[in-house]
């Protein structure tokens, strides 16, 4: 089972040898067996990789995330086809009933609001009861936009009444970094399962190649919110980024069993796919990270 998140943060050459990722720097050579790796984060632009290594990483469904010169995630490696019966799955995906998509999306939002409410309660914020009110008012497909109203209350409670997600601040940079790592891990599971990420059940942005991942991530966002609030970042430096990367290795509960988050995401996505493929919302099980 893959479980390691490998970060390459300085000048290095990466290649493949006998089922190992070989990391060569000026000072040393390290080897990591590919079976252990779930995510490879290439944080530095002073890194070179062999095409053979990229092929092996893709074949083994290892998520590769590339960062820009500011060390912020900017791209990821996505296989053309992640499943042997990918064509059949794509046909099913394109024919998911609209009513079932709306039912699944409503449950995703319901769990997101629960997590936001619980997060505020744990920290002693009275606004948790306002979120609970929105949760009770949630309608099919969120026809009255309870999610949007809850988001304003939630973020203002956590980060202050003047906070907006559009601000260019270290706080928002940390949130965006954490969300992007979590989204990349979810994208890996969607591609590996043979589904098309561009086709979301609620997110339908023409310019977003990860609409489906953006649907699935919603109940997990409070995990990043809590980590960022606890670190109160004055900058998004190496220490803060490392802490956010390590969230992928966080112990969680899924279906009553202890898992690392990186593996629990695979089980979580599989449950949603079973629901959308005709099993109904009873197939969805949530990751308990509280």
pLDDT tens, residue by residue, 88-132: 999 999 999 999 999 999 999 999 999 999 999 999 999 999 999
**Helix H or strand E segment including 224:** helix 221-231
Strand partners, 31: 22
- In angstroms, rounded to a whole number, what is the distance separating the alpha carbons of residues 115 and 244? 19
C-alpha closest to that of 183 among 94, 250, 256, 269: 269
Residues 263, 3 contacting (CB under 8 angstroms): yes
pLDDT tens across 158-208, in order? 999 999 999 999 999 999 999 999 999 999 999 999 999 999 999 999 999
| Percent above pLDDT 70 for the chain | 99
* Confidence check: pLDDT of 84 > 90: no
Q: What is the pTM for the complete model shown?
A: 0.90
């Amino acid at each position: 089972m893959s479980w390691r998140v490998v970060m390459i943060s300085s000048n290095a050459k990466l290649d493949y040898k006998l089922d190992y990722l070989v990391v060569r720097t000026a000072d040393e050579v390290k080897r990591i067996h590919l079976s252990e790796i779930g995510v490879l984060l290439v944080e530095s632009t002073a890194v070179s990789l062999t095409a053979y290594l990229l092929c092996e990483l893709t074949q083994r469904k290892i998520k590769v995330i590339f960062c820009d010169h500011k060390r912020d995630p900017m791209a990821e490696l996505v296989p053309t086809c992640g499943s042997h019966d990918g064509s059949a799955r794509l046909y099913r995906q394109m024919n998911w009933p609209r009513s079932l998509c709306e039912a699944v999306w409503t449950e995703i939002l319901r769990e997101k609001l629960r997590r936001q409410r619980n997060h505020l309660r744990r920290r002693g914020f009275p606004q948790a009861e306002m979120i609970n009110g929105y949760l009770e008012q949630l309608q099919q497909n969120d026809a009255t936009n309870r999610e949007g109203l809850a988001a304003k209350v939630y973020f203002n409670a956590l980060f202050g009444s003047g906070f907006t997600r559009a601000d260019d601040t270290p706080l928002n940079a940390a949130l965006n970094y954490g969300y992007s790592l979590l989204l990349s891990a979810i994208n890996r599971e969607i591609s590996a399962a043979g589904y098309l990420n561009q086709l979301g059940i609620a997110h339908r942005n023409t310019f977003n190649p990860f609409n489906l991942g953006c649907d699935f991530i919603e109940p997990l966002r409070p995990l990043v919110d809590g980590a960022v609030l606890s670190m109160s970042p004055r900058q998004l430096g190496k220490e803060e980024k490392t802490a956010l990367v390590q969230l992928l290795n966080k112990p969680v509960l899924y279906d009553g069993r202890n898992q690392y988050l990186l593996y629990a995401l695979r089980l979580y996505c599989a449950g949603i796919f079973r629901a959308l493929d005709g099993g109904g919302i009873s197939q969805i099980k949530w990751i308990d990270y509280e």
